[in-house]
Amino acid sequence: MTSYDARTALDAIHHHQEQTRDAYVRHGSSLPYSLVTALAVFGFGAAVDLPNPWRTLTLLAAGGLMTGMLYVHQRRAPVYRKPSRAQWAFSLWLGGVVTLILVAAVVCARLLELPEPSVIAGAVAAVATLVAGYAARPIVKAITRRDDQG
């Protein structure tokens, strides 16, 4: 094997690794999964204002929707990759930010004495979920690239 052949093989390996990372990030932040996640976040947020039997049903439906989405997301993944600690930490941080937005929206809606403040806050948190998912894509890609090189 010549040095040219070795360099060509190494370049091909790097190219395939980049394609794998792109497929992983693209699947993780695809629109259908983001919409289902936003709908589940809306359900969790809106359930607070509902009377008791409907609250329980809404929470169960939102939890089932999220569980089903995660199952389908894993089963249809074109690339399987174990998330790193940095990815877990970033995901938890992002979830915390969305939760903080939900709580802040509930407080603001109650201060403004809006009707059904948790429904409004749930809608705000759902939109924040969509925005966060879109904005986080380059960060997740950078974390994935760094994890693969380190």
The domain of 103 spans 3-147
Give the Cα separation of 102 and 118 in Å (integer): 8
Residues 9-48 pLDDT 10s: 888 888 888 888 888 888 888 888 899 999 999 999 999 8
Closest CA to 40 of 111, 109, 133, 107: 133
**Residue for token pair 């969305």:** 98
> For tokens 């794998």, what's the residue?
20
Structural domains counted in the chain: 1
Q: What angle do CA 76, 129, 147 make, to 5 degrees?
A: 60
Percentage of residues in the chain with pLDDT exceeding 90? 45
Collapse the DSSP code of 85 into the 3-class scheme (helix H, G, I; strand E, B; otherwise coil) and give the result: helix
Token pair for residue 14?
């790097």
By the 8 A CB rule, do 70 and 119 touch? no
**pTM for this prediction:** 0.81
Looking at residue 2, its pLDDT comes to: 85
pLDDT of residue 127: 95
Q: Contact 122/41 with Cβ under 8 angstroms?
A: yes
Whether the pLDDT of residue 57 is over 70: the answer is yes
The predicted pLDDT at position 17 comes to: 82
* The predicted structure's pLDDT at residue 129: 93
